[in-house]
Amino acid sequence: QNSSEMPETITSRDAARFPIVASCTLLGLYLFFKIFSQEYINLLLSMYFFVLGILALSHTISPMMNRFFPANFPNKQYQLLFTQGSGESKEEIVNYEFDTKDLVCLALSSVVGVWYLLRKHWIANNLFGLAFSLNGVELLHLNNVSTGCILLGGLFIYDVFWVFGTNVMVTVAKSFEAPIKLVFPQDLLEKGLEADNFAMLGLGDIVIPGIFIALLLRFDISLKKNTHTYFYTSFVAYIFGLGLTIFIMHIFKHAQPALLYLVPACIGFPLLVALAKGEVTEMF
């Protein structure tokens, strides 16, 4: 994605529709895995996420990489322009500007991409997963707090239903060989980097609360008090919610819908702070 692109704003109508769209997609994938052979789908998905992952990763590391380039680095500017028609009716289809530094980032990301494609290694998977999450939080903006509550509330129900009510979510998450989840090796200490017993966290459990936390950071800044109270509150609430998820997962030995714990935490804690400070009206 070009960094000059406008973020996608999520309205309350989009938020209300989201769980239904997500449910249809999830069910579609589930049936797809039941009908077709898994290798075939995962091959298609691998190629798709290979390209997408490389682009997402290079977009993510590009600002960080700037520090590592020496001052005398020969940085050339490039423009990829693809037009249609001529004269007055000439219109741009692709207009992409980049420089040598972006190409270096692209090369580095491609190395991760090839590593992912060949080995499906968990570290490569997580690098792509984190890049997707960061791009997701960057591109998706909530227009206000009530939209955030509708979105989180709807997906809370969606998550609980598909994890506890059916085996759909767990089946798809386990069969789906794509960097749409972060994986954490539970046997890392015994097996080192060759670990193969994983706990997983879907990117939705990161991006959905993430865009809400990002909204609260914008709310903090709009209060012009030079404090980030709501951001830190929701940030700590997220860590608490995730910790609780893991704790309960270990006690009951059953997959847990992370949003079941993350949504009440991420909405509840900042709301309590707003009540205490008398800023609920400003918040909404």
Residue listed under structure tokens 């709501």: 230
Sign of the Cα torsion 88, 93, 99, 100 reads negative
Classify residue 4 by its DSSP letter: T
Positions annotated as catalytic residues are 159, 205
Sign of the Cα torsion 267, 272, 274, 275 reads positive
> At a CB cut-off of 8 Å and minimum separation 6, what does 185 contact?
122, 191, 195, 196, 197, 198
Distance in angstroms (rounded) separating the CA atoms of residues 151 and 155: 6
H-only helix segments in the chain: 12-35, 38-65, 100-119, 122-139, 145-160, 168-175, 188-191, 204-222, 229-252, 258-277, 280-283
Question: Residue 284: helix, strand or coil by DSSP?
Answer: coil
Which tokens go with 5? 């692109």
